[in-house]
Every structure is written in structure tokens, then in C-alpha cells.
Amino acid sequence: MRLILYKGKKMKTLIRTFSLMALSLLMILNPSPSPVEAGTYLLTNNGDGFRTWTITGETTLVMNGFDLRTTFQLTQPITIDTVRMSVAQPVVGQPVEAVIYQDFNGGNPNDAALVTRQTFTINDSGVFIGKLTTPVQITAPVVWVGFYMPVGFKFRSDQAGTSVLTYWGWTPNATFDLSNLRTATVFGPSDGTEPVNIN
């Protein structure tokens, strides 16, 4: 991950994949009472090269976790107002849901709390930028951001990155409740282990 500094702004981006999806998250840091303008951060996985992935079988959640306190030395709360993803080929007319979770204990995000979900219709390839209708505030040290994508959707992902981890979730031949990650039949990290078996 790279922290890019701009004049008066700090940016970071966030990437996820069905093996590390090119997704980015625009965040605005809300410092404690201070007349100084808040900085803008863009969390990003800046890996070596990228690969295009295709969602097959069933609608799939792909999300990355970011340790805001340890890795980025940010003080909560922070506000998130935008999500982004590098789209290789959309499924025209099919909804894609962006989700953001906060995780108070880190590690396995199966107990992470859903902060927001917003449906977008992505009809074009390229970098999709989704402005949240209502910006959300994160008070936990770890945030997970992802997309629940339909079958046939193709996205680009970095082949390396420094997020906490990338997790996938799905239920064969069905969908699952995004407000409770434990309801996914298959849910796990992208480290080549079961049940996901993707590295």
C-alpha cells in the first residue's frame, strides 16, 4: 500500500479481488476538534502488475481489510464517502453492491459489523467511482470494503498488496445475507486455504 501525499491532501486507495480486486476507497479523516482542514486519504493496494478475474457460479463478495490504526496511524473516527473498482467487463443492467464493515477485533471478519451497503449499476468498463449517498463513520481500527458482484462480472486486481487480507464469500446457487457474514456458506481468506481455495 502506498500513502500518496498531495498538496494539503493525503490519499489512499483500497483494492479487492476474487484474488485481489482493484477497488479503492476514498476516505476523509475527521480529526478531533481542530480548526485545521481534514486531510483526504486514498487507500490503495499497489501490487506488481494486475490480473483480470471473472465471477463464476454465483454472486460473490470480495473484500479487503485495512488496519487503519497500525498501518496508517489514523485516529478514529474517520469518514468514508467513496468506493472505486477497476472494471474489466460489467454485467450490464445487473446490480453490484458495495459494502463497508468495521471490525473491532481484527482477524477473521465473520463478526465484522455492516456499516453500509449501497447498490450501484455499473454499465461501463474502466475505473468505477461510487459516491455513497450518505458518508459513513468508522470507529473501529479495521475496516473491510468490498463488492458483491454478479456472475459474469470481470474486474482487475493487483497481484500483490498490503491490506490486512482479502476475503471471499458466497453461497452455492443462492445469495447470502450481507448484514451477517456468517450466513455465507463459503467464507474465507485468499491464502489458498479452505474453504475458498483461491490464492
The H-or-E segment that residue 18 falls in is none
Q: Among candidates 126, 146, 153, which has minimal Cα distance to 58? A: 153
The 10s digit of each residue's pLDDT in 139-161 is: 999 999 999 999 999 988 766 55
Q: Among candidates 37, 21, 38, 20, which has minimal Cα distance to 29? A: 38
Percent of the chain with pLDDT over 70: 72
Q: How many CB atoms sit inside 10 A of residue 3's CB?
A: 14
pLDDT band at 67 (very low <50, low <70, confident <90, very high): confident
Looking at per-residue pLDDT, the higher value among 1 and 135 belongs to: 135
**Residue 91: pLDDT above 70?**
yes
The 10s digit of each residue's pLDDT in 15-24 is: 332 333 334 4
